[in-house]
Chain A
C-alpha cells in the first residue's frame, strides 16, 4: 500500500506541476461544457444523498447548486458524480470533477502536497459523544470508566483514546465496522456512549427506536472543518467557489433570504446594494454577470437557509447551529465583506 501511495503522490505532483501551465483551464472548460462537474459523497445524510426520486440533496449538494447559479445563473446546471472517500481526491486531480463538495476535512497535507485548495468551511464538524439521557451525564468529562462504541480503523479511535488519556479517565472501547451496528449496540445497552463526528451522531440518533431519549454532549474533541475543494491551477475558479460560500454567509448576516431577495434590491443599505448588483461592478470583478450573488441567494438561499433545510431545524436531523452559527451569534461563520 505504501508503494501505491508513493506512486499516487508522484502522479499527483506531476499533475499539479502540469496544471500550473494552463491556468484558467477549469473555468474555460466549465463554460464550454455548460455545466459544473461536482463530486459529492456516495450517501451521507444531510450532506449529500439521493432521495427516492433520485434527486440529490444536502448541504454539499446545495454548494454545487450555488456555484452553478453563480456561473450560469441556473442552479440546475450541475452534473453530480458520487465518489467514495478513496477516489475523491484522484477524481479532482485528474479533472473528472471541477469541484469536490463532499464532507472533506481541511488539513495541511491536502491543502499543500496533494495539490488542493480548500475554498472555505461549509460545516465546522468535530468528534462528539451520544449518550442515553438515563445516564444523567451532562459533560464528556464525567465519562470516566465508560464503555464507548466507536467505528473501527478511523482517526475517531485515536482521538477517543487521546482524549480519555489527557483527562486521566478510564475507557473500554468497542469497535464496530458499520455505523448501523454501533447504533444498535448503543440501543441494546452494550455501550454507554457512541462516538463519531457530531454530524454523524445526529443521523445515528434517528436510527434509534426512541431518539428523544438520547443527547449529544456539548464537548467536541477534534477539529473537522468540512468544505468544498478545487485543484491548484485556476485562481479565477477558486475565487468563484470561495466567494459563493462567502456570499451565502454574508446574505444571512444582512438578512437576505431566497424569499426577500427581490425586495432587498430596493434596500438603501449600500452593502446590500453592492452585493445584489444594484450598485457597482462587484459581480463583474469575477468575470460573471453583475447580479450573480443575487442569483445564488435567490435560487439556493443564504447559509442559514441551506443549513436549516438540510441538517438543521427543518430537516429530520435537527442539528443545532453551534459552531456553525454566524460570528455575530457566537458561532464561527464569518465572511469577508463584499466591497
Chain B
C-alpha cells in the first residue's frame, strides 16, 4: 500500500507580515530607533496638522466679496484670492483684451501637444518643434503686444501676474538652451578666439548674481542712454535672464559633452561627418540625454528666479500678490497671498520635475547603472 504524502496546503503568510500591518512593521517599527522616529513624526503631525487644516479649510472663509466677510472666521480668507484671482493671472492686462492671452496659451497647448505623445513620428516631431520654436514666439508676441491687425497696443508695463512669469520663464528657457549649447561647444572648441570669448562670457555671467544684472539693467543702463531713449523694461529683464541662464546652461551641457567618449567623435569623423554633423547627430543627442536632470534643474531654478524681477518693478506673480496686499481695502492678508503664490510655483516646478523623469525613462537605452 502506497501512502501518498499529501502536503499541507500553503498557509497564508502571517497576518503581521502582509497588508497594512506588515507594511507598518517593515517601514515604521522595524527597529527601536525607527519606532522613536515614527513616534516623533506622529507627534509633529499631531501638533502641526490640526491648526493647519483649521486655518486652510475648516475655519477659512470661502464666500463673500468684501473684507468684512472674513472678519467672522479666524482661518484663512480665500475671498482675498478670489477677488484678486484675475489680477494674479493677468496682471494689469486690460480685461477686454485678456482673450488674447488665453488664445495664445491655447495655441501653444494645441501646437505642442503632439510633441508629448507618440502619435506622430520623431522626424515629424523635429519639424513641428522647430516651426513652433520659430513661429510661435512671433504669433504670441503679436497677440500679447498688439498694434497690428487692429489689435489695440498693450504696453508691456501692463503685463503681469502668472502670465508675465510664464513669459519670462518661457523666453528664458527656450532661448537659454540653444545659446547654452553653442557656448558649451564654443568652450570646448580648438579655436582660441572662440574659446576665450565663450569662457569670458560664461565666467562673467556666472560670477555675478542675477539680482545685480536686473538692478544694473534698470537703474544704471538708463543713465548711459541718451535722454528720452528708453528701451522696454521687460525686454531688458528678458535679455538679462537669458544671458544669465545661458551661462549656467552652457556648463550643464559641457558636463554632458565631457561624458561622451572621444571614440564617438572619431567614429563620426571616420564616417565622413563634419564637425557640425558629428555634433548634431552623434554627440549632442547622447550628451543632452545624459544631462536632462541638470537641464531641468536649471529650468526650475530659472522659473523661480523670475520672481526677482520684482526689484525692477515688474509685476510678476510674486509682485502682483505683494501689490494686492497693499490695497487699502484688503490689508492684512499677506499670508493667504504668499501661500497661494507658493502653491502655484510648486505646481509648475513639480510638473517640470515629473516631466523630466518621464522623459528620462522614455529615452533610457540601458546605459544607466
Taking beta carbons and an 8 Å cutoff, which residues of A are in contact with B? 4, 7-8, 11-12, 15, 18-19, 25, 29, 42-46, 49-54, 57-58, 79, 81-84, 86-87, 90-91, 93-96, 180, 183, 203, 206-208, 310, 315-317
| Given A11-B224, A90-B219, A95-B228, A316-B312 contact (CB < 8 Å) | no
Complex CA distance for A50 and B84, rounded to whole angstroms: 11
Complex CA distance for A96 and B151, rounded to whole angstroms: 26
| Given A29-B228, A52-B84, A207-B332, A84-B312 contact (CB < 8 Å) | yes
Is there a chain A Cβ closer than 8 Å to B323's Cβ?
Answer: yes
Q: A90 near B326 (CB under 8 angstroms)?
A: no
Q: B313 near A95 (CB under 8 angstroms)?
A: no
User: What are the interface flags for B117-134 relative to A under an 8 Å C-beta threshold, 1 for contact and 0 otherwise?
Assistant: 000000000000000000
**Residues of the B chain whose Cβ atoms lie less than 8 Å from the Cβ of A46:** 328
- The one of A54, A87, A315 in contact with B91, judged by C-beta atoms closer than 8 angstroms, is A54
Q: B219 near A8 (CB under 8 angstroms)?
A: yes
A227 to chain B, nearest CB (A): 20
Complex CA distance for A310 and B327, rounded to whole angstroms: 11
Is there a chain A Cβ closer than 8 Å to B334's Cβ?
Answer: yes
- The one of B220, B223, B326, B329 in contact with A43, judged by C-beta atoms closer than 8 angstroms, is B326
B221 to chain A, nearest CB (A): 9
- The one of B92, B218, B334 in contact with A180, judged by C-beta atoms closer than 8 angstroms, is B334
Q: A42 near B313 (CB under 8 angstroms)?
A: yes
Interface size class of B (residues with CB under 8 A): 35 or more
A242 to chain B, nearest CB (A): 22
Taking beta carbons and an 8 Å cutoff, which residues of B are in contact with A? 83-84, 87, 91-92, 95, 155, 157-158, 215, 218-220, 222-225, 227-228, 230, 310-313, 315, 319, 322-332, 334-335
**Residues of the A chain whose Cβ atoms lie less than 8 Å from the Cβ of B230:** 94-96
15 pairs across A/B with beta carbons < 8 Å?
Answer: A11-B223, A15-B223, A15-B227, A49-B328, A50-B92, A52-B330, A53-B95, A54-B87, A58-B328, A83-B313, A86-B219, A93-B223, A95-B227, A95-B230, A180-B334
Q: A90 near B157 (CB under 8 angstroms)?
A: no
**Residues of the A chain whose Cβ atoms lie less than 8 Å from the Cβ of B325:** 43, 180
Shortest 3 CB-CB contacts between residues of A and residues of B: A94-B222, A207-B332, A43-B326
| Given A94-B230, A95-B230, A12-B223 contact (CB < 8 Å) | yes
Q: B323 near A316 (CB under 8 angstroms)?
A: no
- The one of A25, A82, A94, A316 in contact with B223, judged by C-beta atoms closer than 8 angstroms, is A94
Complex CA distance for A29 and B229, rounded to whole angstroms: 12
Having A11-B223, A94-B230, A207-B331, one finds 5 other A-B pairs with CB under 8 Å, namely: A11-B220, A87-B312, A94-B222, A208-B332, A310-B328
A177 to chain B, nearest CB (A): 13
Complex CA distance for A46 and B326, rounded to whole angstroms: 8
Residue of A nearest to B74 (CB): A209
Complex CA distance for A81 and B225, rounded to whole angstroms: 19
Instruction: Identify which of B218, B312, B313, B319 gathers the most chain A CB atoms within 10 Å of its CB.
Output: B313
Complex CA distance for A44 and B222, rounded to whole angstroms: 25
Complex CA distance for A83 and B223, rounded to whole angstroms: 16
